[in-house]
Structure 1
Amino acid sequence: METHNSFNEQFEFSGKAKTYSLIAIAVGVLAIALGFLTGAVERTFANLLLMGYYFTCVCIAGVFFCALQYAAQAGWSASLLRVPQAFAKVLPYAAVILILIIGAGLYFTHPILTEETHQHITGPYLYKEWASKAVTTPGTDAYDAIIKGKSGYLNIPFFFARLAFYLIAYSILGLLLVKYSNNEDELGGMFNYKKSFNLACAFLVVFGFTVPLFAFDAIMSLDAHWFSTMFGWYNFAALWVSGLSVITLVLIYLRKQGYFAWITENHLHNMGQLIFGFSIFWTYLWFAQFLLIYYANIPEEAAYFYKRWEPEFQPWFWFNLVMNFVAPFLILMARDSKRSVGVLKTACIILVLGHWLDYFMMVMPGTVGPQSHWYTEIGWIEAGVFIGFAGLFTFLVLGALSKFKSLVPKNHPFLQESLHHHI
């Protein structure tokens, strides 16, 4: 294996990685097309929302990683910042895709059978509990006084305005962090680093206030009768753990290709520590949200978990906990596990799939609902859309990485600390 040691050498995106990513995109497009053509429109829209949200969250995690390192003035991570910066460069594409998916899901409508009167009304494929006009129109069979009371917040224009604000703010701040890092490479000095520090602090303030709202709007409003003040931070934990896992997998892949030769087991150990710690944090939020609702047993709250305890979903409900807590806890507990490329890679793959399942359990019961048997709830549409988005993410991120003139921020003030990092 050829090793690329020069900081000035660019990453070349070609060969198998490019070919396989394009094949994966083609698989995803085919799965989406077949989903629509075979009549599984609602299920296809739900999967598009799931993967569009997941794709966007991982890219946001890249921006958050960069901002966190700058705000903390961390030294260990300076030499690997190009990878999360590539995520930041892809975020605008992910944001546009998510907005288009949500827009299409709201624009296209189909007949919906109401639970109370068994009357058919016309509603959108996504966010049907609140986005249908009949739900908020007094006198109709579908009228819902609770949703009408929330209509000042849950209405389509304000909904899109909020989503656009979150995603545009994250994208602009992320691209500015990348710009200042590139300027630092060309000009040297501390001027651009100080600008990055100030911008990172601003991003963390904006992010801290808005990321729960982003989760409330994009995912929690699928079950519009239900709400949880913990849901936003629960989604943040999923965003952060899945983002860390993907960053680590990209680093491992690039090292195997001979790039990022300066990344050692000490850097991977730090990534493993973050993944391990925040997997526990995700579990704490999952359990706290579940236990409080289970113990109180208030019908308005319990309805959310009742849907997810349907026979079709119940095995996935518990398997979600196994993949996102039990597996990383047991695999990454030991110090040597965090320093082993093979073990860390396995844990990251489990977590990437595990948090896909986590999002699946958030999205599917509130959109498609139970279909038949639990083992048919995850089928070819889910697999195809996942593969397609994975290919698209790979293509865009590696393409963005290849545009950097240097694979390391060579004038970063803490670069030498990162290159000699040891724990």
Structure 2
Amino acid sequence: MYTFSKRLKTFAMILMILGLIGIVYGFISAPKTVNDVERILTEQHHGGAHDVAADAGHHAEVSAAEHAEHQHHLEHVLQQMQNKPWAALYIACIFFMLISLGVLAFYAIQYAAQAGWSPVLFRVMEGITAYLLPGSLIFFVLLVLSSMNLNHLFIWMDPEVVANDPIIQAKTGFLNVPFFLIRAVVFLAGWNLYRHYAVKNSRALDETNDLKFYKKNFKLSAAFLVFFIVTESMMSWDWIMSIDTHWYSTLFGWYVFASFFVTGITIIAFTTLYLKSKGLLEYVNTSHIHDLAKFMFGISIFWTYLWFSQFMLMWYSNIPEEVTYFIFRIQEYKLPFFGMLVLNFVLPLLLLINTDFKRLTWIIVMAGSLIVVGHYLDFFNMIAPGTVGGSWFIGVSEIASLLFFAGLFIFVVFTALTKAPLLAKGNPLIEESKHFHY
């Protein structure tokens, strides 16, 4: 049995406390009025009280129309700046929740495929997926708060915007708050129910050695994967793509899936290597680690293929309502936009292409760290432009939100690992997995 060490538990608690302090600071320090915004913008562009006075004199001379346009611009920037702590919280929340969902999908694939190499890793996967429930609850609360107009993450939830936007009006049959929240309940409940019954059957299989529980999980996993592939696509439309309400992509669901799937597999590798370093998981060998690294490598290539397909086809066709999505990101988010390509494709390709490198712990940790950071930036690129526009920077709110959810993730996952032996001894393929070598 695994014991959650005091040092790791304290580390997780410190991350959560620091994260909460930073999150609160982010909300408190957000501008409250257009005057606050004007002062911030003046300091950014000029940097002094003398220039503020000069600007005040200039504004006295402008026409009423120009003044109204200026006020509208300030109100728009105010909305973006007030969105910033909300967006930071939302991005970190959905990122960690989808990591656990990616691991759950990987777990279901192993059962449905009757894979012989992976059962020694099942308890690790079950531990990581334990985060799905608390992550889902926090995420749903964020969705409800958004629907109550406490933020402006989803412009289609604003009646004033919808009233003046024919494109959004045409989408209100799907994009309306009641249907949106009902879909969220269905998605989150379905994923968590599968996780609950799959783990329950897995533990019962250990206790009884009755293969009926294995057969139940086989059927349950096959059914879940059908449910998952539909709901995952719809989830990506609802929770990410609808932020940029005018834009759409027909392969967006696959793109989002590849992003959190490879990150989830990377977290399996990290957790496995950590437990191995503590003298646990005695039957996990370099061949198991090599297979995890192969998935990290392969899904990174798959993600890049989807990114390129989405980007190049839209760029080549040059349809205004499609290509503006990328133009804005290239102009305003140049560093994270191109940086994530290096982190998610170029560096993992170079580090993991060699077969021998896939068995080296330090290489996997290095490549995996790049993948995790790169895919956080991927989610940042998908969500921040539509919520904070050009008023972005990765500051206290973003780092604090990451710290809080990382701490919560570690606390929940490693607490769950203490609930059962780390070897799924009742699985009929466990002996094949124990002796897996090539």
Taking structure 1 as the reference length, what is the TM-score of the superposition?
Answer: 0.90
Q: Residues of 2 paired with 1:380 and 1:133: CA distance?
A: 31
Aligned counterpart, 1:315: 335
Q: Residues of 1 paired with 2:334 and 2:129: CA distance?
A: 36
Q: Residues of 2 paired with 1:23 and 1:50: CA distance?
A: 21
Asked if 1 retains the 8 angstrom alpha-carbon contact of 2:16 and 2:405, the reply is yes
- State the 1:261 CA deviation: 2.2
Asked if 2 retains the 8 angstrom alpha-carbon contact of 1:338 and 1:344, the reply is yes
Asked if 2 retains the 8 angstrom alpha-carbon contact of 1:92 and 1:168, the reply is no
Q: Residues of 1 paired with 2:433 and 2:13: CA distance?
A: 34
Asked if 1 retains the 8 angstrom alpha-carbon contact of 2:149 and 2:158, the reply is no
Match of 1:135 among 137, 146, 161: 161
Match of 1:399 among 392, 396, 415: 415
Asked if 1 retains the 8 angstrom alpha-carbon contact of 2:149 and 2:157, the reply is no
Aligned counterpart, 2:300: 279
- State the 1:106 CA deviation: 3.1
Deviations 1:84-121 (A, max 9, x none): 11122221111111111122233244xxxxxxxxxxxx
> Where in structure 2 are the equivalents of 1:21-420 lying within 5 Å?
21-39=12-30, 41-109=82-150, 124-128=151-155, 130-137=156-163, 143-310=164-331, 312-371=332-391, 377-404=393-420, 406-420=421-435
Asked if 2 retains the 8 angstrom alpha-carbon contact of 1:45 and 1:105, the reply is no
Count of aligned pairs between the two proteins: 388
Q: Report % sequence identity.
A: 39
Q: Residues of 1 paired with 2:182 and 2:423: CA distance?
A: 37
Deviations 1:56-104 (A, max 9, x none): 1111112111110010000110111111111222211111111111222
- State the 1:332 CA deviation: 0.1
Query: What is the SS of the residue equivalent to 1:19?
Result: helix
Deviations 1:121-146 (A, max 9, x none): xxx42102x11011233xxxxx1011
- State the 1:55 CA deviation: 1.2
Q: Residues of 1 paired with 2:82 and 2:416: CA distance?
A: 33
Match of 1:19 among 10, 15, 28: 10
Q: Which has the higher helix share?
A: 2
Deviations 1:2-24 (A, max 9, x none): xxxxxxxx111122110000000
Query: What is the SS of the residue equivalent to 2:217?
Result: helix
Deviations 1:163-191 (A, max 9, x none): 11111101101111100000001110311
Asked if 2 retains the 8 angstrom alpha-carbon contact of 1:86 and 1:398, the reply is yes
Deviations 1:35-63 (A, max 9, x none): 11101541111011111111111111121
- State the 1:303 CA deviation: 1.5
Deviations 1:221-253 (A, max 9, x none): 000000001111000000110100111111111
The runs of 5 or more residues in structure 2 that have no matched partner are 31-80
Asked if 2 retains the 8 angstrom alpha-carbon contact of 1:106 and 1:125, the reply is no
Taking structure 2 as the reference length, what is the TM-score of the superposition?
Answer: 0.87
Q: Residues of 1 paired with 2:28 and 2:144: CA distance?
A: 20
Query: What is the SS of the residue equivalent to 1:301?
Result: helix
- State the 1:265 CA deviation: 0.7
Q: Residues of 2 paired with 1:16 and 1:41: CA distance?
A: 37
Q: Residues of 2 paired with 1:62 and 1:292: CA distance?
A: 30
User: Cα RMSD between the aligned structures?
Assistant: 1.1
Asked if 2 retains the 8 angstrom alpha-carbon contact of 1:102 and 1:126, the reply is no
Asked if 2 retains the 8 angstrom alpha-carbon contact of 1:53 and 1:98, the reply is yes
- What stretches of structure 1 move > 4 A for 4+ residues in a row? none
Larger Rg: 2
Read off the aligned partner of 1:125 and give its amino acid letter: H
Asked if 2 retains the 8 angstrom alpha-carbon contact of 1:35 and 1:381, the reply is yes
Aligned counterpart, 2:34: none
Asked if 2 retains the 8 angstrom alpha-carbon contact of 1:88 and 1:175, the reply is no
Query: What is the SS of the residue equivalent to 2:130?
Result: helix
